[in-house]
Every structure is written in structure tokens, then in C-alpha cells.
């Protein structure tokens, strides 16, 4: 059987080059089971691509996160993903004899990786159109090329600092702090703004953006003071975090409770993110209440506290709409409130109540940060009593045979149990479900006996 043609190889190379890493692994697994000469060539192509990606990932490890946007949307230095393979091809072509040494797990591989990064920096400066074509993300291209070349110049220093990143985020001792400051000094010797640039690279390795504050505060004896930090080149990190808070505050303010669960989960994530950022700012920086940063933080806190209070009140009202009560006659003109057992168990009203209760149950941390935890706790206690009372009254009506539609009534009881789950009142919810199970079994048994008697 003939092998792959030139056209086949070119087409496959293009497809393999564009495949994500997880897809490449799946293709390799599938190709391993295929017979024939063509499959053998395909496996060789996949193995070569896998090896090249491993080498590329090792060499450019300090920069890799910069080729994708931050998941939290915080502004950061970034390069188009399409630049990465072009950069690797140009850099590898300059040092082809050294590439096999990257497959070793030794200090030699690290030295080779650093050398290839310097070769890549030279390629960016010598052949910018090859690395970053003018038609690819033209906005900010010139600045991007400058940032990319500088990052590659500093890659060997960033690589040196990455293993210590976790230590610097926790409780570094004096020697570890001195190591960080020495690293930043060495970066400044390479580029005038080298310290800021390497911090940008470390920042991209942090999934939680606010953690960069812990490194900033270790970078200088005076960096915990707002007056020092706001006047330095490192102020951009704080400003970006505050901008991220302002963006989320606006998004939360625009939220309207409804049946869209994804919108509620976004609000919960935004509240949690803002609480983490503002809490970290309180711990790591001494903010002047009258400064621009201090006012922004204060305004964000006030707004988020007010929004939380609004959501709590909305949740209270939503439960009344989803599990309505009606007046039933007791004796003469005397009436009392009882569950409306014909109410629907689905629909926008019910889903809105469940979504708001999910929010109430999930924002304990943010509520504490923004001074609304006491109100949230009172609401949870009140709802726990109301929902359990609702279920108890509904079950009494079912057991007494006063429910015209026992099946729908039991579904309403289950809805009340789900609402209890959402506000983290799970022991009460379990009790409600046990009683509902007994009532349901009794109804089924009664119906069976009636059928046999007939």
C-alpha cells in the first residue's frame, strides 16, 4: 500500500498543527490502532508534533500564559495565540542542533531553553513580519512586539523565579523576600522597566489576580503604603484590580432576578471575586480613605452592600410568590392561611425564587465582607421556619384528604425541601422529605386498598 502523498502530508500537517493539545492526544490514541503504511506515517507526524509542543512548552514556559486571555478578564499583557507557533519555528530554526537537549531532564535543558528564548527575542526584532504578520491583530502590534521581545529577554529570570512563586504568596522568610528583591534587581539590570515586566509575567501565572498584591508588598519595604505604590510603575496592578471590581459592580447592579440560572451564577462569582479583591486590598495595602483608590474601594463596598440587601429582599418576596398561601374557612367567618396546593411547581416565578435562594445560600463570604451577613442570616432563619411550616401544613392537608390534587401537593412539598437545600438548611430538608415519603406511601397504599375493595 502506498504511503501518504505530498498533498496529504501538507493537509495533515496543517490540521495537526491547529489541533488543541487534548485533541492531539486523542488523535494519537486513535492512530495507534490503525493499520497500514499511511497510519504509520500519520503516527510519526503526530509523535513529531507532540515532541515539538513539549519542547516549545518547556522553552516558553515563563511566557505561555501570555498567549491566552485571563479567565477573570482582568487586563494583562497578552499576545495572539497564532504568534506562538511562528515564534517557536523561528527560534528553533536558529538553534536546531540544541533541540534534542531539551528532551533531557537536566540543567543543560534549562540552559538551552534560556538560549533559545534569547534567539527568539532576536527573531522578533529581526523579522517581526514573520513572527507577527501586520494583518494579525494590528491594533497594538508595535507595542506587542516590543513587549514580546522584552519578555523573551527576561524569560531566564522569570524561569528562575517561578519555582518560588508559591512561597512568595504565603509567608516568606527574610531570605525568600531577599531572593525576590534580588530577582527584580537583576531584571532591572536587563531592562529599565524589567522589574515591572517580570512581575507581569508572574501575574499571568496566577489564576487569582488579586494574589499579585502579596508579591508587590514583598518587593519593597515601602510597597505596603499607598503613597509609594500609587506613584510607582507598579500602580497599574492595583488600578487593574479596582477596574475589575468596578466592572463587576456595574454588572451586578444590572442584574434582574429571573429564570436564567447562568445569570445568577455569574452574579455569585462576581460577588465572590469582589469580596476576595477588596478583602486582600484591606490586608495588604494601607489605603487613604480620601485618595482615588480609597474612594473607589469605599464606593464599591457601599454599592455591593446595597445590592446584596436588595437581593435578600427580593428572595423573601420570591418565596411568597412561588409557594403562595390562600385563605381557607375554619368555622363560620373564621379563616386561616394555608398552602395553595394547586399552585404550579414550574415556571418563571418558581425558577426565579430558586435562583435567588441559591444566591442567598452561596454568598455567605461576600455578605460578611460587605456587612450584610447578619441580614442574610436572619433571612435564612426566617425562611427555614416558613418553608418547614409550609411543608408541614401541606402534608397535614394531604394526610387529611383535603388536597384536590395530592400529586401536585407533594411536588410543592418537594419544592419547599429544595428551597431549604438552597439556603443550606439540609437537615430540615431531609426531615421534610422523610415526612413526604411517608405521606406519599400512605396515599399509594390507600389508593391500592380502595381499588381492591371496588
Q: Are 248 and 270 in contact (CB under 8 A)?
A: yes
CA atoms within 13 A on the CB side of 355: 23
Cα separation of 373 and 312, whole Å? 10
CA atoms within 13 A on the CB side of 367: 21
Cα separation of 103 and 106, whole Å? 9
- β-pairing, 334-339 vs 325-331, is antiparallel
Cα separation of 425 and 29, whole Å? 47
User: Does the global pTM surpass 0.85?
Assistant: no
CA 84, 85, 87, 88 dihedral sign is positive
Phi first, then psi: give them for residue 359, nearest 5 degrees.
Answer: -65, -45
Q: What is the pLDDT along the chain (454 residues), one digit of tens a residue?
A: 466 677 766 777 777 767 677 777 777 777 766 777 777 777 777 777 778 888 999 999 999 999 999 999 999 999 999 999 999 999 999 888 999 999 888 899 999 999 999 999 999 999 999 999 999 989 889 999 999 999 999 999 999 999 999 999 988 988 999 999 999 999 999 999 999 999 999 999 999 999 998 898 888 755 445 555 665 667 888 899 999 999 999 999 988 877 677 889 999 999 999 999 999 988 888 888 888 888 999 999 999 999 999 999 999 999 999 999 888 766 666 767 888 889 999 988 999 999 999 999 999 999 999 999 999 999 999 999 999 999 999 999 888 888 888 889 999 999 999 999 999 999 999 999 999 888 766 555 554 434 443 4
Of 209, 213, 221, 234, whose CA–CA distance to 177 is shortest?
221
User: What's the distance, CA 313 to chain centroid?
Assistant: 27
Cα separation of 220 and 288, whole Å? 19
Cα separation of 414 and 406, whole Å? 12
Of 330, 452, 347, whose CA–CA distance to 402 is shortest?
330
Cα separation of 317 and 357, whole Å? 11
Q: Are 324 and 416 in contact (CB under 8 A)?
A: no
Amino acid at each position: 500500500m502506498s504511503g501518504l502523498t505530498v498533498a496529504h502530508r501538507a493537509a495533515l500537517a496543517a490540521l495537526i498543527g491547529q489541533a488543541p493539545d487534548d485533541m492531539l492526544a486523542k488523535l494519537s490514541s486513535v492512530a495507534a490502532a490503525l493499520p497500514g503504511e499511511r497510519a504509520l506515517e500519520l503516527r510519526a507526524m503526530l509523535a513529531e508534533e507532540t515532541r515539538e509542543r513539549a519542547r516549545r512548552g518547556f522553552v516558553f514556559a515563563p511566557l505561555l500564559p501570555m498567549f491566552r486571555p485571563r479567565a477573570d478578564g482582568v487586563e494583562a499583557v497578552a499576545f495572539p495565540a497564532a504568534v506562538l507557533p511562528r515564534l517557536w519555528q523561528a527560534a528553533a530554526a536558529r538553534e536546531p542542533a540544541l533541540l534534542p537537549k531539551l528532551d533531557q531532564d537536566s540543567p543543560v535543558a534549562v540552559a538551552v531553553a534560556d538560549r533559545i528564548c534569547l534567539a527568539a527575542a532576536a527573531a522578533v526584532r529581526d523579522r517581526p513580519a514573520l513572527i507577527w504578520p501586520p494583518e494579525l491583530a494590528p491594533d497594538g502590534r508595535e507595542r506587542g512586539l516590543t513587549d514580546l521581545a522584552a519578555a523573551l529577554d527576561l524569560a531566564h529570570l522569570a524561569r528562575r523565579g517561578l519555582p518560588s512563586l508559591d512561597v512568595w504568596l504565603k509567608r516568606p522568610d527574610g531570605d525568600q523576600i531577599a531572593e525576590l528583591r534580588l530577582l527584580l534587581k537583576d531584571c532591572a539590570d536587563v531592562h529599565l522597566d524589567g522589574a515591572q515586566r517580570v512581575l507581569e509575567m508572574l501575574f499571568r501565572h496566577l489564576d487569582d489576580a488579586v494574589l499579585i498584591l502579596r508579591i508587590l508588598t514583598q518587593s519593597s519595604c515601602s510597597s505596603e503604603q499607598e503613597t509609594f505604590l500609587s506613584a510607582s510603575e507598579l500602580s497599574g496592578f492595583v488600578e487593574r484590580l479596582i477596574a475589575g471590581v468596578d466592572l463587576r459592580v456595574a454588572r451586578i447592579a444590572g442584574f434582574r432576578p429571573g429564570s436564567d440560572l447562568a445569570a445568577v451564577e455569574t452574579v455569585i462569582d462576581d460577588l465572590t471575586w469582589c469580596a476576595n479583591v477588596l478583602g486582600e486590598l484591606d490586608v495588604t495595602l494601607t489605603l487613604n480613605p480620601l485618595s482615588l483608590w480609597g474612594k473607589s474601594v469605599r464606593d464599591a463596598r457601599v454599592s455591593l452592600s446595597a445590592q446584596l440587601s436588595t437581593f435578600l429582599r427580593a428572595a423573601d418576596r420570591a418565596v411568597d410568590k412561588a409557594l403562595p398561601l390562600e385563605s381557607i374557612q375554619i368555622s363560620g367567618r373564621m379563616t386561616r392561611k394555608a398552602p395553595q396546593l394547586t399552585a404550579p411547581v414550574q415556571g418563571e416565578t418558581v425558577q426565579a425564587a430558586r435562583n435567588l435562594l441559591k444566591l442567598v445560600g452561596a454568598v455567605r463570604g461576600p455578605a460578611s465582607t460587605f456587612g450584610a451577613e447578619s441580614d442574610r442570616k436572619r433571612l435564612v432563619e426566617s425562611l427555614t421556619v416558613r418553608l418547614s411550616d409550609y411543608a408541614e401544613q401541606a402534608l397535614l392537608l394531604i394526610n387529611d384528604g383535603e388536597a384536590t390534587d395530592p400529586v401536585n401537593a407533594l411536588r410543592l412539598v418537594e419544592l419547599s425541601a429544595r428551597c431549604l437545600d438552597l439556603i443550606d438548611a439540609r437537615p430540615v430538608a431531609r426531615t421534610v422529605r422523610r415526612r413526604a415519603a411517608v405521606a406519599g406511601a400512605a396515599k399509594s397504599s390507600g389508593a391500592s386498598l380502595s381499588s381492591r375493595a371496588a
